[in-house]
Structure 1
Amino acid sequence: MIPALFLHIQKTAGTSVLAKASELYGRTNCCMHGDYLSCAPEQLDPLMMVSGHFGFDYAERFMPGRYSFTFLRDPVERLLSYYSYCRGATRDEYEIHTLAHDNDAETFFRAGETARSKFASHMWNHQACQLASGWGASLVGKADIEPSELPPEEILDRAKVNLARFDYVGLVEDFEADNAAIFAALGDTSTDVFRINAAPARITREELPSSTLELLTTLTHIDQQLYDWVVRRQRASSISARRDETAALAEPKCGCFTPSQA
């Protein structure tokens, strides 16, 4: 197994990834979720797996010498999963959990409606913001950047540039295949797939009024552009790979042989 860096965006099947990583590397060799907040970066250097809900500016420090990856998710589906998760979590553990317990979906999402909203960092184009800069920057000597401090087009451009630096970008919608490819690259030969921490009885789009759906579209307009860009790149890469395979099959095979075969 080789060392890894996993930028874990909330509600993108990361807990499932880390369950397998913990089994393969050992829990004491893994930094997960919010562990990084209580450790100096130097303390994480010896670990085999560095992961957490940090942004790219924090993750960048650990990328050299590690296989780096992240997962994205359909932006609206991620927010719906996040709301359901917060409603199922301990009510008073975090303020955002209390917000979810006490309010319907639309009221909850209104609290992160704009880049300047109180809970913007959890909701407003969360995936693009984490990849453009994100949480934890000041812990590695960089400036923390709030969502409202960058123009939308710069958030998108930064996120694209930074995503291109990862060894692998997976999609929750293709989780089994992408997770298997990532762990194969890390040196794992098993076929086990973990799926845990899914939100129970998750709210769906079909249950929501049009006003909530319109709000979700507004909340995720940069995330949606980023997600669509990744999907297009992966589709183009897949088509190119299939063309290469077809071309290789069509090439005439060499008829050479060694003297021992004559």
Structure 2
Amino acid sequence: MNYKQEKTLFFLHIPKAAGTTLNDIITRQYKSESVFQTNPVNIRESKNKLIKMSESDKENFKVIKGHMEFGWHEFIPQEFTYITMLRDPVERVISLYYYILKNPRHYLYNIVTENRMSLRDLLSSRISAQLSNGQTRILSGREELVQKPLAVFEECPAEWLDSAKQNLDKYFVTFGLTEKFDESLILFKQILGWKIPFYTSKNVNKHRLFKSEFSVQDIILIEEYNRLDIELYKYAKKLFEEQIYRQQSAIKTDLRRFRQFNQVYRVYAKFSNYSRSAKNKVKSIIKDCV
């Protein structure tokens, strides 16, 4: 079944799980007028905008994507399915911390930088639920992904993990893992009928520390605040590996070809802002293969 044509696709963009890169790929797969993109700064406004649209306008959307919690399918009349990208919870929290440090527009930027908060300080302060089981919260559909007052921190109940797992099983045609990004793209390509999803990595912080560079105490604290996400990731990883195994022959062939073409695409894309010929070459590669 070609879900790209027959069902509206929801892409849940989980912060710091390679969603920006995937978001760019999705944009190139569909006509702009058939895509509804949420406003990352004002998610509630995007939700209200979608709710207030006419049924006919909603039915024109092939894709509804961006930062949102599971459950927005309730606002549209047509059939739907979901995809997302999940990430190792410890790596995701570390990445989110460094994203906050470099992004003055983030609602936590001022309080973190003015108080020179370390990652351990930020977790212990309990001023943001984004760093505590954030993936479970989004996939459970039990809580709006809306910026709340800094003083508000709600624990993530254990039953939300069950809801997240059930939603992943029932409503997601497939999903990817950040740590297996290329394999995830090929899976999306095969299941959703996409053309070759070339990419260059987006929104990557080259000046952050990695998991192996943090102290044991820091890692233990991150894990303590993300126990449900760790369980969710283990569950999702098992499902992902089963999907890959069932299609291993086709995926292996497509993956080899994709990586060869994408390496060429990256080289030309790197210089496309400076060279007209390189820019034209990038367009040619996209036109021929995407």
With the shorter chain as reference, the TM-score category is 0.7 to 0.9
CA gap of 1:131–1:198, structure 2 versus 1, over 3 A, is same
Shift of 1:27: 4.2
Task: Give the Cα–Cα distance (whole angstroms) in 2 for the partners of residues 7 and 14 of structure 1.
Answer: 8
Task: Give the Cα–Cα distance (whole angstroms) in 2 for the partners of residues 64 and 106 of structure 1.
Answer: 45
**Alignment partner of 1:68: what SS?**
strand
Task: Give the Cα–Cα distance (whole angstroms) in 2 for the partners of residues 51 and 224 of structure 1.
Answer: 25
Per-residue CA deviations over 1:157-191 (Å, capped at 9, x if unaligned) read: 11110111210121111111212321443332224
Task: Give the Cα–Cα distance (whole angstroms) in 1 for the partners of residues 80 and 24 of structure 2.
Answer: 19
Shift of 1:81: 0.7
- Residue 131 of structure 2 is matched in structure 1 by 123
CA gap of 1:234–1:198, structure 2 versus 1, over 3 A, is same
Shift of 1:194: 3.8
Shift of 1:33: 4.5
**Alignment partner of 1:181: what SS?**
helix
Task: Give the Cα–Cα distance (whole angstroms) in 2 for the partners of residues 193 and 76 of structure 1.
Answer: 25
Q: Which has the larger radius of gyration?
A: 1
Aligned length: 227
- Residue 246 of structure 1 is matched in structure 2 by none
Selected match of 2:44 from 12, 26, 37: 37
Q: Is the 8 A contact 1:58 1:135 kept in 2?
A: no
Q: Is the 8 A contact 1:128 1:155 kept in 2?
A: yes
1:1-262 matched pairs, under 5 angstroms? 1-2=4-5, 3-34=8-39, 37-38=44-45, 39-43=49-53, 45=58, 46-59=60-73, 61-62=75-76, 65-89=79-103, 91=104, 93-102=105-114, 103-111=117-125, 117-120=126-129, 122-136=130-144, 148=154, 151-152=157-158, 154-164=159-169, 165-239=171-245
Unaligned runs of 5+ in 2: 147-151, 250-290
Shift of 1:197: 1.0
CA RMSD of aligned residues (A): 2.9
Task: Give the Cα–Cα distance (whole angstroms) in 1 for the partners of residues 14 and 77 of structure 2.
Answer: 16
Task: Give the Cα–Cα distance (whole angstroms) in 1 for the partners of residues 97 and 33 of structure 2.
Answer: 31
**Alignment partner of 1:95: what SS?**
coil
CA gap of 1:242–1:190, structure 2 versus 1, over 3 A, is closer
Q: Which amino acid aligns with 1:6?
A: F
Higher relative CO (Cα under 8 Å, sequence separation at least 6) belongs to: 1
Q: Which amino acid aligns with 1:16?
A: T
Q: Is the 8 A contact 1:30 1:48 kept in 2?
A: yes
| TM-score (normalizing by structure 1) | 0.75
CA gap of 1:191–1:40, structure 2 versus 1, over 3 A, is closer
Shift of 1:84: 1.1
Per-residue CA deviations over 1:114-169 (Å, capped at 9, x if unaligned) read: xxx3311x11111011111255489xxxxxxx9747631x0111111011121012
Q: Is the 8 A contact 2:25 2:197 kept in 1?
A: no
CA gap of 1:109–1:211, structure 2 versus 1, over 3 A, is same
CA gap of 1:77–1:147, structure 2 versus 1, over 3 A, is same
CA gap of 1:219–1:105, structure 2 versus 1, over 3 A, is same
Q: Is the 8 A contact 2:86 2:176 kept in 1?
A: yes
Unaligned runs of 5+ in 1: 112-116, 139-145, 244-262
Q: Which amino acid aligns with 2:127?
A: K
Q: Is the 8 A contact 1:109 1:216 kept in 2?
A: yes
| TM-score (normalizing by structure 2) | 0.68
Task: Give the Cα–Cα distance (whole angstroms) in 2 for the partners of residues 149 and 159 of structure 1.
Answer: 15
Q: Is the 8 A contact 2:127 2:153 kept in 1?
A: no
